[in-house]
Amino acid sequence: MQTPATSPVETVAPRMPSAPAHPLPPGACDSHTHVFGPYDRFPFVTPSSYPPPLAPYELHREMLDRIGAQRGVLVQPAPYGTNASALTDALRRSDGRLRGIAVATGEITDADFSLLHEAGVRGLRFNEMIDYGTGKPYQGSVGADQLRLLASRMKDQGWHAQIWASCADCVRLSREFADDELPLVFEHMSAFSVERGPADSAFQDLLALLREGLIWVKLSLCRVSKARPDYLDLRPFHDLLVEANASCLLWASDWPFVRMGEMSPDVGHLADLFYSWVGDAEIAHRILVENPAELYGFENERASGT
């Protein structure tokens, strides 16, 4: 794992949520969140391309409590590189409430694999998106080229691959790794093009993969659209994803919304949008509770609300 090297000088305060008007069910999981800091203990290993939030474990726990989510999934942010210290510290303190998605390269040792799993990590994150500020991959991120080196070891560990990629690349990677029988989870609704509409061939190909149960998709709105607070331009895509296969979907907020500033949504409102759009209590329960329990291994763990 990389050694911490840099510490942010100025931080921003994350937007804290309101309570959803529609209470979340017991065992509900926010499947994509992050912790940042405290930076005197957990400095970045590479310079951040965004104003760093101060969102340590305690504030993350408060966020989950406010929305009534008994479970959560922490995803390694790029500025921490492969150093999972902040993530694993939060996982160990959560009493089984949290699971983690780490970042690693093919050089990771079996011993570090075991340590991550023991802490509560259940997958690795790979990033195929470009930092538009530099025209290059995000500093600290690991591309899907490393997934080829890690796939068999991840499968043996019972882990999955989480990938941030454009919709077309999601389809390409799904086909490339089909023979590995490794679960693939795509972030941010598969990062489709809103402008091209739901009929776009890449999105339709992705729906076909979802119908067959070959991929998982996270239903997080804010990285795909700027039409806050209600994201009405995403409703047709959201409906088609739910219709295709609700058994392979996860609800996710993306708190604390890095690079968004005043455009940061209210997680409580995002939860209410989800309920309003899904409109079926059984389907909502599957996406919020049953699916993350299956994928992240919460089944035999006590859901702690404290």
- Three-class HEC string of 14-70: CCCCCCCCCCCCCCCEEEEECCECCCCCCCECCCCCCCCECECHHHHHHHHHHHCCC
- Residue-level pLDDT at 130: 85
Domain of residue 119, CATH code: 3.20.20.140
Q: Decide if 195 is inside a domain.
A: yes
- Give the residues across from 131 on adjacent strands: 136
Tell which residue, 201, 239, 98, 101, has the closest CA to residue 159. Answer: 101
pLDDT, position 16:
98
Q: How many domains does the chain have?
A: 1
pLDDT of residue 102: 98
Check: CB of residue 55 under 8 Å from CB of residue 75: no
pLDDT tier, 289 (very low <50, low <70, confident <90, very high otherwise): very high
Annotated catalytic residues are 254
Domain assignment present for 278: yes
For residues 157 and 118, what is the distance between their CA atoms, to the nearest angstrom? 11
Q: How many helices and strands in the chain, by DSSP H and E?
A: 10, 10
Mean pLDDT of 288-295: 98
pLDDT in tens, 191-200: 999 999 999 9
Please tell me the predicted confidence (pLDDT) of residue 79.
95
Averaged confidence pLDDT in the chain? 94
Structural domain contains residue 3: no
Range of the domain at 172: 29-296
pLDDT score, position 299: 64
Q: Would residue 301 count as lying in a domain?
A: no
- Residue 304 is assigned to a structural domain of this protein: no
pTM value is 0.95
What percentage of the chain carries pLDDT values higher than 70?
97
- Give a yes or no: residue 71 inside a domain: yes
On the 0-12 / 13-18 / 19+ scale of CB atoms within 10 A, 109 is: exposed
Asked whether residue 6 is domain-assigned, the answer is no
Closest alpha carbon to 188 in 208, 161, 164 = 164
Whether 85 is in a domain gets the answer yes
Q: How many CB atoms lie within 10 A of CB 158?
A: 11
Of all residues in the chain, what percent carry a pLDDT higher than 90? 89
pLDDT tens sequence across 85-136: 999 999 999 999 999 999 999 999 999 999 999 999 999 999 999 888 788 8
